[in-house]
Amino acid sequence: MKLKFFIAIALFGVLCYSCGDDKKQENNMPEVEEVATDDFEYQVDQFADLKILRYQIPGWEDLSLDEQKLVYYLTQAGLAGRDIMWDQNYRHNLTIRKALENVYTNYEGDKNSEDWKNFEIYLKRVWFSNGIHHHYSTAKMKPDFTAEYLLQLLSETNTTLEGEAFDVIFNNADTKKVNLSKDADIVLESAINFYGPDITTADVEAFYDAIEVDPNEPIEKGLNTRLVRENGKLVEKVYKSGGLYGAAIDKIIFWLEKAKGVAEDENQAKALELLIEYYKTGSLDTWDDYAVAWVNSTEGDIDWINGFIEVYNDPKGYKGSYETIVEIKDFDMSKKMAVLSSEAQWFEDNSPLMEEHKKKEVKGVSYKTVIVAGEAGDASPSTPIGVNLPNNNWIRQKHGSKSVSLGNIINSYNNAGGSGRLQEFAHDEEEVELEKQYGQLADKLHTALHEVIGHASGQINPGVGTPKETLKSYKSTIEEGRADLFGLYYLLDPKLQELGLVEDWEATGKAAYDGYIRNGLVSQLIRLELGDDVEEAHMRNRQWVSAWAYEQGKAENVIEKITRDGKTYYDIKDYTKLREIFGRLLRETQRITSEGDYDAAKALVEDYGVKVDQELHKQVLERNSQFKSAPYSGFVNPVIVPDMDENGEITGFTIKQPGSFEEQMLNYSKEYGYLE
């Protein structure tokens, strides 16, 4: 899972987290060492609500040639599947992208007009979101130019875009990539291309309920397929060589075969071999075998995430989005954080969970800080900052999991500059100073606790189905909230100082609580259009956690709502009592998960996590309008260029930074456009 894990929260001053997620969690991990040079330009571009950043690959030169080859081959494998994510996001995305790119590269008319500038912005927004729906809100992005202007551009560049693919850019069809409204048919009314356009929620439920799996080691039903109707019958189109997305998958296999040839050890080679076999066959049993081999491959300096993994984009939580991240170990930071993994059982034993919901033995939580060398699919351009995998619960319980923090990504966020929003939305100077002194560390620790301890904690009662089956569309937000709460409960615990992770546990915990409540109740609203409900799983969980805590503490004024000069603030009056409230909610959220209590999950999310106070929202948007810094950030990837001898053998590599966002996007389409 991401923290967007994939993690996607907004902090003000730094970006927050993808469980995930992103997807898109908060920027929470211990202090990252400075690796940047003074003159490195972190920001590439800014447009609409988006900022494009760069990241470096520190330590690259310390890798052996074979290790560098392994990284290169894995990044190429990831990019080979890039177009899969575009097609998964929406059935017309690739057609639209190819047409818009052809216009962009061939238009010779007036490029100083407002219409052309708006066309460029729209194309860059589409690039960023891997399609025409916003990467975070999932709402369809409307262009600030007319259909007539686009027709003119198409005509002048001899570009074809017609029918539904043209009309949908401007009309009111397919307005939400993922529609989680309780009043909607969440499958039929979601534009995501995991299901045929005529498939309903009832169709999906009936189809997958009829598939029997081993209750002790269940496969992730439907993870790598599209469900469609053919001749009146529901059938799955499997993502595999020779199947759906076969042209791109064959290229993925080609590069994975090369990677296997330079694997660092037998365990790594075995994992890669199983991943290749999975792509060849589409077998979910093989996927589980691969996940077990991957989670047990821990000795190498290079690691990867590759496959159809996170299910946040599926309103029913079955279908995995394509994503890859290639990682190099950050040895110093990983050593510092190993202590948290080693104490996982202590955190479980001392948590406020009911005894029957606690794990008697927390299995193999492997936690490392890594250096990202390349990302693709659902991890790019919008990236998580922390990841915990595999997602299949029985594998996690039996074999453990890997949790990583993306150190150089976090470093880029922290070096990209603040926005001034902290002073606007914090209640007073004391809150501002706590954030400035302890905020980054608090956020990083929250990510660590969320990923390593939170997602690994708790157990489901015997005979109860998986959360995907029992909690249905509320599964993701309940799980992210549960992990958030685990982290929040321990962020105000002297144990963190005892373990040497903080110098002042109380100040760090207060900064964490201030930031979470401020974001959950106020500042994350800048990500929504006025009038919108909260749809994204992480945003929902931050709101329902914060709103529930506020309401529970009203009688004792634990959190005070303050209006000053027409502006709303939330001021925590009693941090200790707030911790107790977080503990009670953690206990209840685990109970909901362990017992599969759908009604309680629905009530918690719908009552506290979906609806927005429209007066407050309007106020927040007005207060935010003074700031120029975009609320969302993403990245271009460094380009790893092989150096060849006269025989075509790789002798080394050169790392280059792309000159612009447009340059990288157009190059990717040219080099990795394997799907029609």
DSSP 581-645: HHHHHHHHHHHHHHHT-HHHHHHHHIIIII---HHHHHHHHHHHTT--S-SEEEEPPPEEEEEE-
- Are residues 51 and 108 located together in one domain of the fold? no
pLDDT at 339: 83
Least confident interval from 277-291, 296-310, 403-417, 617-631: 403-417
* Co-location of 459 and 314 in the same domain: yes
pLDDT category, 13, cuts 50, 70, 90?
Answer: very low
- 127 with 54, same domain: the answer is no
**Nearest by Cα to 13 from 30, 26, 32:** 26
In a domain, residue 569? The reply is: yes
**CB distance 407 to 369 below 8 Å:** yes
**Could you tell me if 466 and 403 lie in one domain?**
yes
Residue 38 — pLDDT band, cuts 50, 70, 90? Answer: very low
Beta strands, E only, 293-385: 302-308, 322-329, 365-377
Residue 126 has pLDDT above 50, yes or no: yes
Q: Which residues share a beta bridge with 303?
A: 327
- The pTM of the full predicted model, rounded to 2 decimals, is 0.79
Let me know whether 24 and 112 are in one domain: no
Residue 462 located in a structural domain: yes
Q: Which of 249, 302, 258, 235 is nearest to 278 (CA)?
A: 249
- The mean pLDDT of 375-394, rounded to a whole number, is 94
Q: What is the pLDDT of residue 414?
A: 76
- 71 in a structural domain: no
* pLDDT tens, residue by residue, 546-573: 999 999 999 999 999 999 999 999 999 9
In order of 23, 50, 312, 330, 353, the CA distances from 134 in angstroms are 12, 11, 14, 33, 37
Q: What is the pLDDT of residue 452?
A: 83
Nearest to 510 by CA among 599, 589, 603, 437: 437
Domain boundary among 134, 167, 200: 167
Q: What percent of the chain has pLDDT over 90?
A: 83
Q: What is the three-class DSSP state of 350?
A: coil
In a domain, 576, yes or no: yes
Distance CA 307, CA 274 (A): 12
Compute the average pLDDT of residues 358-371: 83
Instruction: Look at residue 483 and tell me if it is in a domain.
Output: yes
- Domain-located, residue 29: yes
CA atoms within 13 A on the CB side of 464: 19
pLDDT > 70 fraction of the chain, expressed in percent and rounded: 93
Closest by CA position to 248, among listed 378, 23, 79: 79
Domain count, the chain: 2
The C-alpha atoms of residue 84 and residue 663 are separated, in whole angstroms, by: 21
Cis peptide before 58 (omega within 30 of 0): no
Mean pLDDT of the chain: 92
> Is it the case that residue 631 has pLDDT exceeding 50?
yes
Say whether both 137 and 17 belong to one domain.
no
For the beta carbon of residue 139, count every other beta carbon within 10 angstroms.
17
Do 29 and 92 fall into the same domain? no
Q: Which domain holds residue 93?
A: 84-167
Q: Are 127 and 525 in contact (CB under 8 A)?
A: no
- pLDDT digit string, tens, across residues 286-327: 999 999 999 999 999 999 999 999 999 999 999 999 999 999
Whether the predicted pLDDT of 12 surpasses 60: no
DSSP 159-195: ----THHHHTTTSSSS-BSS---TTS-TTTT---TTB
Measured CA to CA, the distance from residue 622 to residue 644 in angstroms comes to: 55
12 vs 278, more confident: 278
538 and 588 in a single domain? The answer is yes
Asked if residue 159 and residue 24 are part of one domain, the reply reads no
Last residue of a domain, one of 167, 196, 215: 167
- Angle (CA) 336 338 342, round 5°: 140
| Backbone φ/ψ region at 200: left (φ over 0), alpha (ψ -120 to 50), beta | beta
| pLDDT at site 9 | 31
Instruction: Kindly indicate the confidence band of residue 369, based on its pLDDT and cuts at 50, 70 and 90.
Output: confident
Position 665 in a domain: no
Q: Tell me what pLDDT residue 3 has.
A: 56
Q: How confident is the model at residue 417 (pLDDT cuts 50, 70, 90)?
A: low
Is residue 439 located within the same domain as residue 501?
A: yes
- Is 333's pLDDT higher than 90? no
**What average pLDDT score do residues 120-125 get?**
98
Q: Is the pLDDT reported for residue 636 higher than 60?
A: yes
Give me the count of residues in the chain: 676
382-391, 473-482, 613-622: the lowest-pLDDT one: 382-391
| Token pair for 629 | 């810094």
Answer whether 378's CB lies under 8 Å from 135's CB: no
CA angle 423, 3, 38 (to 5 degrees): 60
Per-residue pLDDT of 399-410, as tens digits, reads 999 988 898 998
Q: What confidence tens digit (pLDDT) does each residue in 199-258 have? A: 999 999 999 999 999 999 999 999 999 999 999 999 999 999 999 999 999 999 999 999
Q: Tell me: do 351 and 463 sit in the same domain.
A: yes
**Residues 6 or more apart in contact with residue 87 via CB below 8 angstroms:** 93, 94, 193, 245, 675
The structure tokens listed for 96 are 């639209």
Is 258 strand, coil or helix? Answer: helix
Residue 654: inside a domain, yes or no? no
- In this structure, the number of other CB atoms found within 10 A of the CB of residue 233 comes to 7
Is the same domain home to 14 and 160? Answer: no
Residue pair 25/17 in contact (Cβ under 8 Å)? The answer is yes
Where does a domain end: 167, 197, 222? 167
